Structure 1
């Protein structure tokens, strides 16, 4: 009897970030390659499965092969059951779509938590006619490339993060009620350099970064913007142009990401699941 082999073709998406895997549904859903996927995700930050066309149920099942399914702030569950979460600007589909507008700026998910999600898994269900790509940058690679004196200077710095800071990017003049509601989420102080249990180090930056402790507001802002500019240079980045049915996984502990602008009335729809965090910021 002939042996049936699954498809598993692996290539780089960019030099320092991103892997493209061409495979089949059965291989993904079996979990047989789960450890390979996790290793690649940590090493390369982003994994693209072109036009794999998983259904919602299949995406949930695939997520479970990789780790613990995450449920955050009402996301990803329906009547106590796992579910995909709609990423869209259509408030008839997602009533809190306006909150997602912060995603158009570089960020790491979960900076308001001590233990952020490990990864996000997102599938394209409907696309904008123009725009809507997703940018990723490798915060391991960008840290590694810093000059040694810069690494020493920032090694022990702490940064206050606040959700409301990221919302001001898209709405710089909110009402007092809006600002008060955002500020009710509080703040969280995190290391600027995340010393991972693996021994690797990455930068913790993004739109929620409010102020570096111990620096005045001007010097703090200069440092945060300079490091963000450094980390998002082309050599550390990958831009994914979506096709229908694409699924992308990214390591939330070692990348930043952002969506590019598109017409919010376009019907663009992504379905997302997440993996629960396994390591606290440290």
Structure 2
């Protein structure tokens, strides 16, 4: 797959006559483009595999990543626009669109597991919660195959709300992942209280870890904490086989990164025969992290 060209969102938002827009104006134009994309059905979601470290050919689940499709067909990655809208009502609309797309994908593919990102403000969003409740009532095991990702920083913004949200939504059968583990400042008390099903170790620690002793010490510490609390582990941003080898030796459960798959418009599942052959390994994943695999 040919990588998408990198697009500077703020240059994209400048006026056509070429005069430099102020940062505030650029953000306003970008918010408008997001609102327009949501209204016109141009907010897409791609799927990146999270694979079992012991057998990278077999995906444990897929993370859904937002992509804004511009009128000319180019795609804007989530990192370019999510920080601009996440604190506004547009952020709630984006989270609803992601949950809607995730539930639709799960309903269409009984073997699929997906993770969807959720921001703190959506934890109290009645429309978002109502959508999940409706999916729970419909049954079919859809919610049991849904994983909700919360960033470490977001989880700590309002620990009481995060804990209440997790307790409430877990009744639907969903699993929870702590994203960017290590990048924030989760206190051990909160970490124990949240009881995530697994943690995703921030890619800044994993990239190049095989050759960086400082990063190795930090990863060993994070893996030890997760193992103590019986949480599965996912190493993010894996692009080098040497990093994967070192992380596998530390007992990491899953990998996510370009080495094992880029985000694609559709999730690519292994053939049913191959998937059936991996039943034992899937049972091992479930033993390590109850709902990862």
Q: What TM-score bracket applies, with the shorter chain setting the length? A: under 0.3
Under a length normalisation based on structure 1, what TM-score does the superposition of the two structures give? Answer: 0.26
Task: Identify the structure with the greater strand proportion.
Answer: 1
Q: Which structure has more RCO (C-alpha within 8 Å, separation ≥ 6)? A: 1
Under a length normalisation based on structure 2, what TM-score does the superposition of the two structures give? Answer: 0.25
